[in-house]
Chain A
Amino acid sequence: MQDEPAFDILATGPLSLLEDDGRAGWAHLGVTASGAADRGAYRAANRLVGNRPGAACIETVLGGLTVRARRTLLVATAGAGASVTVRPGPAPSTSTGTASSASARRLVDNDTLRGRHAAPAGEEGGHALLERHHPPGHSLTLFSGDVLTVEQPAAGLRTYVAVRGGFDAVRVLGSRSSDVLSGLGPAALRPGDVLQLADDAGEWPAADFVRPPIAPLPLRLRRGPRDDWFGDQGWAALLETTWTVSADSNRVGVRLESPDGVARLAPFAHRELASEGMVAGAIQIPPSGLPVIFLRDHPVTGGYPVIAVLTDTAIDAASQLRPGDPARFTDQR
């Protein structure tokens, strides 16, 4: 049962990764915790299908992820305000799957998968009247052959797709998360991948709907540890500027732009910081003065001073910022 394919990936959108609650505990070996960028949304998606904490979800950026169910499955989405469309389709022809053994199709062995399962043409045709639309935050049942598409969200960046049982992949240091900085964990999903279920089903869900998060902006942060490099003037600049999210942002960090950055105090102008441990939510100020918010795939150590650190809730909110979005900060206290 567990080895049976559950989903065909037909399209991935800009980027779709498997993520779980990460691999904390290995930072002393140079391994960052990684895991779902928006922990709150990830947990909500798993809760909607009754998974145990730690089950792997698909984390997809913007819209376009399209998957086809191979059998009856309970799924849910949460995160960015993306609705999903379900189009009933003919059950997949057996010729797409049975040629290779089930175990050869596990995500364990992605390279052997690719290219064997080209998406059938004409998937879109003919079923418009039977389409179902679901807002985010709901669980829904897919039947064999159903094709689910994550639509372009009106706001936000990352949507989590959970399936009852969780997605399977080889665990690396205890986690199925893709770490885009170090390359640990499963490769990014590609059309033709076939996903299987893990064994992470828990209690049945108590709810079939979770409220989408209310955008908690401005982002709340706690001052320090290296705020002394910037003084009260730098602190004021950080809090009073309306920053713009740069296109050069990813799971490692969100880069912010503004005509004026956060300047160092004169005594620190040319000082080098000895590399020190970093955390998710750390706001580094490089010499340009333009802040970088570290997200879950941040490097374990960094050499630029951290002026402040976001609260856990604000890290989730920061992970939903799109290039071009405004970003503001406020002191936690």
Chain B
Amino acid sequence: MSSAQALPAEAPGLRILAVGESAVLAECTEPGRFLPLYTRMRHAAVPGVVDLVPAEVTLLVAFDPAVTTRARIIEAVEAAAAQSSTVHGIVVDVRTRRHAVVDIAVRYDGPDVGDVVRSLGLAGIDELIELHTQQLWTAAFLGFAPGFAYLRGEHDRLDLPRRATPRTTVPAGAVALAAGYCGIYPRPSPGGWHVIGTTPAPLWDAAREPASLLEPGSRVRFHRAG
């Protein structure tokens, strides 16, 4: 058996790989396709699907082999992918209707503000704040910790690599930039991103419904805390 593990996929730009006995990985070769695919799969409520894990260019679909088969899951993913390409606009509409814009207030007092301004060649903190607040961010996927969303902006002016040395502790509510994303730490944790500010927004509360303030597809606008 070679690496030709890719299973046949009807939809263009889609490669489906088997992951053990109870999951498949759908890899989208066209950027921006995977979030509509995730949204469609979530709406489709395919029987036997246990978990949907969107990431940068993939959607992992975990299923219960006692309820369904890999073939049925692949069929469902292909159907969702076909729909999201032919009626792409409608899918995006569904997404935007579901997600009101979440406003998040930020105090731009992070320890890395100076470094970020310098390495991006900005005029100063005001330009950083303007770039951060004057674009709409979309939660591409969540990971790292419960409630931690990888927020993608509308442009890449704030794209910079991770810090050379990760911090051992970043406080809860830290607003940080790295690898083309903005993220907010839901609880104190180690972190390698550039911290530009803090927010009191409750990103995660397991006792709340929903527990996470953000989910894949959520849209976020930051504003400067008064």
A residues within 8 Å of B by Cβ?
24-31, 33, 172-173, 182-184, 221-228, 231-232, 274-279, 281-282, 299-301, 306, 309-312, 333
Q: Are B20 and A172 in contact (CB under 8 A)?
A: no
Task: Tell me which of B80-88, B97-105, B113-121, B137-145 binds A.
Answer: B137-145
A28 to B59, CA, bound (A): 10
Q: Which among A24, A30, A276, A312 is the interface contact of B25 at CB below 8 angstroms?
A: A276
Interface size on B, as a range, is 35 or more
List which B31-66 residues lie within 8 A (CB) of chain A.
38, 42, 50-60, 62
Further contacts, 18 of them, CB under 8 A, given A27-B60, A276-B55: A28-B52, A28-B53, A28-B215, A30-B147, A30-B148, A31-B146, A31-B211, A184-B206, A224-B17, A224-B19, A225-B25, A226-B17, A228-B3, A276-B56, A277-B54, A277-B55, A278-B53, A300-B53
Q: Is B67 an interface residue (CB 8 A)?
A: no
* Given A24-B62, A28-B215, A28-B216, A275 and B56 contact (CB-CB distance below 8 Å): yes
A156 to B142, CA, bound (A): 35
B residues within 8 Å of A by Cβ?
1-3, 5, 17-23, 25, 38, 42, 50-60, 62, 141-148, 187, 206, 210-212, 215-216
A227 to B146, CA, bound (A): 29
Candidate in B22, B62, B206, B211 with the most chain A CB atoms within 10 angstroms: B206
Q: Are A274 and B56 in contact (CB under 8 A)?
A: yes
Q: Are B143 and A225 in contact (CB under 8 A)?
A: no
Q: Are A299 and B144 in contact (CB under 8 A)?
A: yes
Q: Are A301 and B206 in contact (CB under 8 A)?
A: no
Q: Are B19 and A309 in contact (CB under 8 A)?
A: yes
A274 to B59, CA, bound (A): 12
When distances are taken between beta carbons in the complex, the residues of chain B under 8 Å from A31 are 146, 211
B216 closest partner in A (C-beta): A28
Instruction: Kindly provide the distance from the CB of B3 to the nearest chain A CB, expressed in whole angstroms.
Output: 3
When distances are taken between beta carbons in the complex, the residues of chain B under 8 Å from A282 are 19-20
Instruction: Kindly provide the distance from the CB of A133 to the nearest chain B CB, expressed in whole angstroms.
Output: 37
* Given A30-B145, A172-B206, A299-B143, A222 and B55 contact (CB-CB distance below 8 Å): no
Q: Are B56 and A279 in contact (CB under 8 A)?
A: no
Q: Which among B22, B53, B147 is the interface contact of A277 at CB below 8 angstroms?
A: B53
Q: Are A277 and B3 in contact (CB under 8 A)?
A: no
When distances are taken between beta carbons in the complex, the residues of chain A under 8 Å from B146 are 26, 29-31, 182, 184
Q: Are A301 and B20 in contact (CB under 8 A)?
A: no
Candidate in A29, A173, A282 with the most chain B CB atoms within 10 angstroms: A29
Q: Are B5 and A224 in contact (CB under 8 A)?
A: yes
A78 to B181, CA, bound (A): 46
* Given A27-B52, A27-B53, A301-B143, A306 and B19 contact (CB-CB distance below 8 Å): yes
Q: Which among B17, B22, B59, B147 is the interface contact of A29 at CB below 8 angstroms?
A: B147
When distances are taken between beta carbons in the complex, the residues of chain A under 8 Å from B52 are 27-28
A29 closest partner in B (C-beta): B212
Instruction: Kindly provide the distance from the CB of B209 to the nearest chain A CB, expressed in whole angstroms.
Output: 10
A197 to B55, CA, bound (A): 39
A87 to B196, CA, bound (A): 59
List 17 contacting pairs A-B, 8 Å CB cutoff, sorted by A: A28-B53, A28-B216, A29-B147, A172-B206, A173-B206, A224-B17, A225-B18, A225-B25, A227-B3, A274-B57, A274-B58, A279-B19, A279-B22, A279-B23, A282-B19, A301-B143, A310-B20
Q: Are B51 and A28 in contact (CB under 8 A)?
A: yes
A226 closest partner in B (C-beta): B17
B51 closest partner in A (C-beta): A27
Instruction: Kindly provide the distance from the CB of A176 to the nearest chain B CB, expressed in whole angstroms.
Output: 12
Instruction: Kindly provide the distance from the CB of B53 to the nearest chain A CB, expressed in whole angstroms.
Output: 3
When distances are taken between beta carbons in the complex, the residues of chain A under 8 Å from B21 are 222, 309, 311-312
Instruction: Kindly provide the distance from the CB of B34 to the nearest chain A CB, expressed in whole angstroms.
Output: 10
A32 closest partner in B (C-beta): B146
A333 closest partner in B (C-beta): B1
* Given A225-B5, A299-B143, A277 and B58 contact (CB-CB distance below 8 Å): yes
B42 closest partner in A (C-beta): A28
A310 to B57, CA, bound (A): 24
Q: Are A276 and B51 in contact (CB under 8 A)?
A: no
Instruction: Kindly provide the distance from the CB of B10 to the nearest chain A CB, expressed in whole angstroms.
Output: 19
A82 to B83, CA, bound (A): 54
* Given A30-B147, A224-B17, A279 and B215 contact (CB-CB distance below 8 Å): no
When distances are taken between beta carbons in the complex, the residues of chain B under 8 Å from A231 are 3
B23 closest partner in A (C-beta): A279
* Given A310-B20, A311-B20, A277 and B25 contact (CB-CB distance below 8 Å): yes
Instruction: Kindly provide the distance from the CB of B115 to the nearest chain A CB, expressed in whole angstroms.
Output: 23
Instruction: Kindly provide the distance from the CB of B171 to the nearest chain A CB, expressed in whole angstroms.
Output: 16
A173 to B211, CA, bound (A): 8
A183 to B62, CA, bound (A): 23
Q: Which among A29, A221, A299 is the interface contact of B211 at CB below 8 angstroms?
A: A29
Candidate in A33, A225, A228, A282 with the most chain B CB atoms within 10 angstroms: A225
Q: Are B206 and A279 in contact (CB under 8 A)?
A: no
A27 to B53, CA, bound (A): 6
A171 closest partner in B (C-beta): B206
When distances are taken between beta carbons in the complex, the residues of chain A under 8 Å from B55 are 274-277, 301
Instruction: Kindly provide the distance from the CB of A307 to the nearest chain B CB, expressed in whole angstroms.
Output: 10
